[in-house]
């Protein structure tokens, strides 16, 4: 095997999976290094208890907080990264998201690049990841150079009723932009079967637009692309001047290997990218690579989020529920001048998902809750804080994080509960469903 490449890419998630796809067309010799294997296709992909109550599809690592307490991250180390188990909702940021903006607990700083710089690439990414949506429904949506490449995913009847009820209240529900390989006009040609095991599950029929299926697999057969799985990068080595990376140190097949490249792209997640740079400290970079500013690992953000189960008086037989979003509170509301966040339907909760915590839903049974609920995901932005940081102590990963901007989330949650009750979707409100929060609250990816 060659040890020198034009480009070495560390990771295979949404960012660098897409990077590998694009660079492969230029004929450059590319080495892609992924610490995990391919996620196995097996019946357990769609087994609720396996997916959400075991670590079969999440890593078994232990991280630590600043007090030495254990953290068990909901990270997925497979080709495709966390996109293998993501919910496939693919939103664009709004124009003002790139500007300096005041939130309840501080400032969201200005980006050096703006929305218009990214818009052409959003368009290309939506093509690659087969994003389904409908422009013009959401008043907060940013400028688009053209319509979504695929039509919006149709609401099932009960969700359409909820959408109509919200619209009658003066809100602006819209179709969630979904990256799935769905053909509703010709179902016999569709990879996606609109099942109830999408959000948080691996896709057994490979119909979710994850980074493996959409970006990595299409190029891995090319002669100029080499993919090594179960190859963990443990250190980057530099020249004596410290100005260039001369070797990437990798453990693979039980042995240590060294590869070099003209360019090295480090994109193995917000946490592990920082860990790699910090663990690559040397005489020229005593605090870690690219860290003369002491900013590597600082300003860690993860969003403030939670879920709500709204039990209604009407049955909800919906299978594919993740089709509806609301941004009416994205920038706040009259009387509340700070951004609140985004609301979307979750994948449909099931009886099996709730049984492990049945006492929390009494006097209702898990079967009653699952049969009559409409389920929601709420996300509020947290803010960069240099004291929220990733650190290393030998092989230990330490995450020092204190949540901020949580008051807007509490406001949004209460506001949404009021609205659910006003449209008869809140006969019983069961907040923070542990089934969906399990991995995310442990700093996974929604």
pLDDT per residue rounded down to tens, the chain (446 residues): 679 999 999 999 999 999 999 999 999 999 999 999 999 999 999 999 999 989 999 998 999 999 999 999 989 999 999 999 999 999 999 999 999 999 999 999 999 999 999 999 999 999 999 999 999 999 999 999 999 999 999 999 999 999 999 999 999 999 999 999 999 999 889 999 999 999 999 999 999 999 999 999 999 989 999 999 999 999 999 999 999 999 999 999 999 999 999 999 999 999 999 999 999 999 999 999 999 999 999 999 989 999 999 999 999 999 999 999 999 999 999 999 999 999 999 999 999 999 988 888 889 999 999 999 999 999 999 999 999 999 999 999 999 999 999 999 999 999 999 999 999 998 888 854 443 333 333 223 33
The 3-state DSSP class for residue 367 equals helix
pLDDT of residue 1: 62
pLDDT of residue 356: 86
Close Cβ partners of 121 (under 8 Å, ≥ 6 residues apart): none
pLDDT of residue 398: 97
DSSP 8-state symbol, 89: B
User: What are the b/e assignments for 294-309, b being 16+ CB within 10 Å?
Assistant: eebbbebbbbbbbbbb
pLDDT of residue 436: 34
Calculate the CA 302 to chain-centre distance: 10
pLDDT of residue 439: 30
283: β partners: none
* Angle in degrees, 0-180, between the axes of helices 115-128 and 14-24, rounded to the nearest 10: 80
The 3-state DSSP class for residue 170 equals coil
The closest of 158, 142, 38 to 91, measured between CA atoms, is 142
């Amino acid at each position: 095997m060659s040890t020198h490449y034009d480009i070495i890419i560390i990771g295979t998630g949404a960012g660098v999976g897409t990077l590998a796809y694009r660079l492969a067309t230029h004929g450059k010799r590319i080495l892609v290094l992924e610490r995990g294997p391919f996620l196995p296709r097996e019946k357990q992909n769609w087994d609720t208890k396996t997916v959400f109550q075991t670590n079969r599809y999440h890593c078994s690592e232990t991280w630590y907080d600043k007090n030495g307490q254990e953290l068990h991250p909901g990270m997925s180390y497979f080709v495709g990264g966390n996109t293998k188990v993501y919910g496939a909702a693919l939103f664009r940021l709004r124009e003002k998201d790139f500007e300096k903006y005041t939130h309840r607990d501080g400032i969201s700083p200005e980006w050096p690049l703006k929305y218009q710089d990214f818009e052409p690439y959003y368009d290309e990414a939506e093509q690659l990841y087969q994003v389904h949506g409908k422009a013009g429904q959401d008043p907060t949506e940013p400028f688009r150079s053209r319509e979504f490449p695929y039509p919006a995913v149709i609401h099932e009847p009960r969700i359409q009723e909820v959408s109509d009820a919200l619209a009658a209240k003066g809100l602006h529900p819209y179709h969630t932009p979904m990256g799935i390989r769905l053909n509703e006009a010709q179902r016999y040609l569709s990879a996606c079967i609109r099942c109830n095991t999408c959000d948080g599950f691996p896709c057994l029929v490979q119909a979710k637009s994850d980074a493996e299926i959409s970006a990595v697999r299409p190029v891995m057969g090319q002669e100029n692309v080499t993919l090594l799985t179960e190859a963990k990068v443990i250190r980057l080595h530099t020249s004596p001047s410290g100005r260039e990376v001369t070797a990437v140190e990798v453990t693979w097949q039980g042995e240590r290997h060294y590869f070099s490249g003209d360019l090295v792209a480090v994109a193995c997640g917000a946490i592990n990218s920082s860990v790699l740079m910090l663990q690559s400290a040397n005489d020229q970079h005593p605090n870690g690579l690219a860290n003369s500013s002491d900013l590597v690992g600082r300003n860690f953000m993860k969003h403030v989020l939670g879920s709500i189960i709204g039990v209604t008086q009407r049955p909800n037989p919906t299978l594919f529920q993740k089709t509806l979003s609301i941004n009416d509170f994205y920038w706040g509301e009259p009387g509340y001048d700070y951004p609140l966040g985004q609301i979307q339907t979750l994948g449909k909760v099931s009886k099996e998902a709730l049984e492990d915590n049945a006492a929390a839903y009494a006097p209702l049974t898990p079967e009653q809750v699952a049969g009559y609920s409409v389920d929601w995901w709420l996300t509020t932005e947290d803010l960069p804080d240099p004291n929220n940081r990733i650190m290393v102590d030998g092989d230990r990963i330490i995450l020092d994080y204190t949540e901020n901007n949580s008051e807007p989330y509490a406001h949004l949650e209460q506001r949404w509960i009021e609205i659910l009750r006003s449209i008869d979707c809140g006969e019983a409100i069961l907040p923070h469903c542990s089934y969906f929060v399990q991995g995310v609250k442990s700093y996974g990816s929604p």
